[in-house]
Structure 1
Amino acid sequence: MDAGTIHAIWTVILFLSMVGIIFWAYSKKQKARFDEAANLVFADEEENTTSSNKTTGVDKQ
């Protein structure tokens, strides 16, 4: 096996890995999990707001 063949095999392996990751990321089974992860930032802000209201005794409206 020469270097060209090894590079070609490595390219095919990396391409198939990339295609597999794309199918995994866009599969419908992962949508709920990704949506939950996307909203974690907002949930953290809500927790910080409610905890600061409890400590100061101020009710923000």
Structure 2
Amino acid sequence: MDFSTLEALKPTLISFQTLALLVLFAGIVWWAFGKRRKGKFDDAANSIFDEKEEQQHRQGAEKDRAGANKE
């Protein structure tokens, strides 16, 4: 293959690359908004509101960044 052949194929290769990226994007969007994963994503989004961890935190002594107990 010489340089002129590669230059002739360049628009075709760019078209295939664009199509592949479009399909990849559509697949990621389909995966992210699929109904099967909605429950998992909702649980992850609401995990910061779990009271279990908050109760455990309250029961134990609070510690500062160095690990010493706060009073």
Give, as a single letter, the amino acid of the residue that structure 2 aligns with 1:53.
R
Distance 1:51 1:26, change over 3 A: same
Which residue is equivalent to 1:55?
Answer: 60
Could you tell me which residue of structure 2 aligns to residue 59 of structure 1?
A: none
What amino acid is aligned across from residue 32 of structure 2 in structure 1? A
Match of 2:47 in 1: 40
Aligned CA distance change for structure 1 residues 15 and 39 (closer, same or farther; 3 Å): same
Larger radius of gyration: 2
Q: Secondary structure at the match of 1:2?
A: helix
Q: CA RMSD in A?
A: 2.0
Distance 1:28 1:51 in 2: 33
CA distance 1:52–1:16, change in 2 (3 Å): closer
Pairwise mapping of residues 4-43 of structure 1 onto structure 2 (< 5 A)?
Answer: 4-43=11-50
Distance (Å, rounded) in 2 between the aligned partners of 1:55 and 1:29: 37
Q: What is the deviation of 1:52? A: 4.1
Instruction: Give the 4+ runs in structure 1 shifted more than 3 A.
Output: none
Which residues of structure 2 form unaligned runs of 5+? 1-7, 62-71
Unaligned runs of 5+ in 1: 57-61
The structure with the greater share of residues assigned to helix is 1
